[in-house]
Amino acid sequence: MPLSTREHMPSVGPRTAKRSGGKRRRHWSMLMFPIIGLLSLIWFLVRVFPKPSRATYPCQRVAFPLASGFVTWLVGATVSIAAIRKAKRSFARSRCVIGVVMVAVAIGAVCLTECITTHDTALAADKLVANAPVGVAKGIYPGRVVWAHNPDATDWGGPGDGHWWESIHTNQAVVDQMMARAIRTLAGETNSAAAWDKLFKHFNKTHGRGNVGYESGEKILVKVNFVGCIQVWSRREVVNVEDYNLRGRDYMNTSPQMIIALLRQLVNEVGAKQADVTVGDTLCYFPNEYYDMCRKEFPEVRYLEFLGKFGRTAAKPSSVPFYWSTPDAADKKTDYVPQSYVEASYLINLANLKSHNDQAGITLCAKNHYGSLARKPARFAGYYDMHKDLPFNTPGMGHYRTLVDLMGHKHLGGKTILYLIDGLYAGKHAKERAPRKWKSPPFNGDWTSSLFASQDPVAIDSVGFDFLRTEWDDAPHRSGTVDYLVEAALANDPPSGTFYDPNHKGNVARLESLGAHETWSNTKDKQYSRNLGTGKGIELVKLMELSSTR
């Protein structure tokens, strides 16, 4: 452009630049829909025509509304253009009535297309289909998830009324009963000792160890969630590392009452020696308030934590590597499984019922393993960033998910005999510092007062997801939140095409399906395909207790 022309161009101020940027964004957004729609149509035809059963795959349930929306848009655009041309010819020939009718047809086609394609695009984001299970259910009773609910377990007035984890606010006897009933129901037995024996024998048999139960001397590790005491938050959540007193006293950590209830089961019913049981969180501190309550009854249990001060056990790495199933991790430091995990014969995953408002959407049993790798501090510089593949950073369906690798590693999910979700006080992780009462039934303005138990890692997180997205309309509804459950259920042939193999360097042995995923029938009945007798997905068994005092 000649200099004289440039000199006489009007200056572009911030508002003008903003408007021009907005126009460019609108132009791009107008182009994106037909491009994505065409690609979705091609993907759907290429994948489904050779094998029609693939139409039920979650990735195809996402692609179909985009593809159908594109076809609708194409037809509408064609009709509209033809009507405009007809209108022009009619007006040129003084056929005004026909011309007006053609203009109306063109406008109507555009409006109808806009309505349909907007609706289809909205449905495309994580489209959930009730009672359409995928994956292979796990457990003695495949896909069984036990939900124990007893309002008498909790009696806290909220912040200002002491703290929820104090014995005057969380009833240990009721929590013990919930734990015992859940274990018995999960195994289909009438007493706890027989139930545990059945769980151990099933696990050993399905893992090639023969039809044997727990043997004295075998080590058991209980992974809890103490994210409110994580070492990178030490200044906010622990007064300092020299005294281990809680500062964030009402944060939604695994409750000491639930830990004690589980330890009573392991020591008194399974027959494990206290010294053979380890409980804790490798990246967090084990605060005095929880430690003192647990240690009073179980002084010989090993309490695992980040530093290992004041009688606790420090988390140390083993020589067993952890491999991420993505090429993005190739130039990063190698992760190693903690030594306590390698030494353990069995794991129990004791997570919390929480949403995850800054990264994952939900944080349940799978996300609990983000605290199961031995990493150095300084926010893990040099290691593969596990948060990169969470849905807030990588939204949508059909992506590689780090959670699947964690669920499938032989020393993590591969050793897990039992999955539990502590739902006494549910909350919003990272967003809030105290739990919330729930409005949805059967809670009706009270604490969730629940415990979930399963042998199927995908099924229990699927149930937790349904509860969380029913109660809250924010994080659990973010696009991609449910993707890891689909990827895990179909780990042998995932929609993302990832070769999931966290146990080897390179693609050596692909993970099998890790469990069953589906969405319940509706928020009122909360039924899954095995409850309805329509499929081989999840069975939700409800153990409901009415409050004796409220």
Q: What is the pLDDT of residues 192-249, one digit of tens each?
A: 999 999 999 999 999 999 999 999 999 999 999 998 888 775 555 454 678 888 876 8
Q: Judge contact between 240 and 289, C-beta under 8 A.
A: no
Lowest mean pLDDT among 23-37, 46-60, 172-186, 353-367: 23-37
Q: What is the pLDDT of residue 117?
A: 47
Q: How confident is the model at residue 74 (pLDDT cuts 50, 70, 90)?
A: confident
Q: Judge contact between 444 and 174, C-beta under 8 A.
A: no
Average of per-residue pLDDT values in the chain: 85
Q: What is the rounded (10 degree) CA torsion for 471, 472, 473, 476?
A: -110
Bridge partner list, 298: none
Q: How confident is the model at residue 36 (pLDDT cuts 50, 70, 90)?
A: low
* pLDDT tens for each residue of 114-141: 554 443 433 344 678 899 999 999 999 9
Burial 318-353 (b: 16+ CB within 10 A, else e): bebebbbbbeebeeeeebbbbbbbbebbbbbbbbbb
Lowest mean pLDDT among 48-52, 279-283, 383-387, 508-512: 48-52
Q: What is the pLDDT of residue 121?
A: 39
For the segment 462-480, the average pLDDT, to the nearest whole number, is: 94
Phi and psi at 248, nearest 5°, equal -85, 80
> Is the pLDDT score of 159 beyond 80?
yes
Amino acid at position 55, single letter: A
> Is the pLDDT score of 45 beyond 60?
yes
Q: How confident is the model at residue 72 (pLDDT cuts 50, 70, 90)?
A: low
Lowest mean pLDDT among 115-119, 174-178, 306-310, 492-496: 115-119
Q: Calculate what percentage of the chain has a pLDDT beyond 90.
A: 64
Q: Which of 14-23, 28-37, 234-243, 305-314 has the highest mean pLDDT?
A: 305-314
Q: What is the pLDDT of residue 128?
A: 81
* pLDDT tens for each residue of 430-461: 888 899 999 999 999 999 999 999 999 999 99
Q: How confident is the model at residue 27 (pLDDT cuts 50, 70, 90)?
A: very low
For the segment 173-187, the average pLDDT, to the nearest whole number, is: 98
Q: Whole-prediction pTM value?
A: 0.79
Top pLDDT among 517 and 232 is at 517
- Where do the structural domains in the chain lie, given as residue ranges? 15-124, 138-515
> Is the pLDDT score of 380 beyond 80?
no
Q: What is the pLDDT of residue 227?
A: 87
Q: What is the rounded (10 degree) CA torsion for 175, 177, 180, 186?
A: -90
Provide the sign of the torsion angle of the four alpha carbons 206, 398, 385, 237, taken in this order: negative
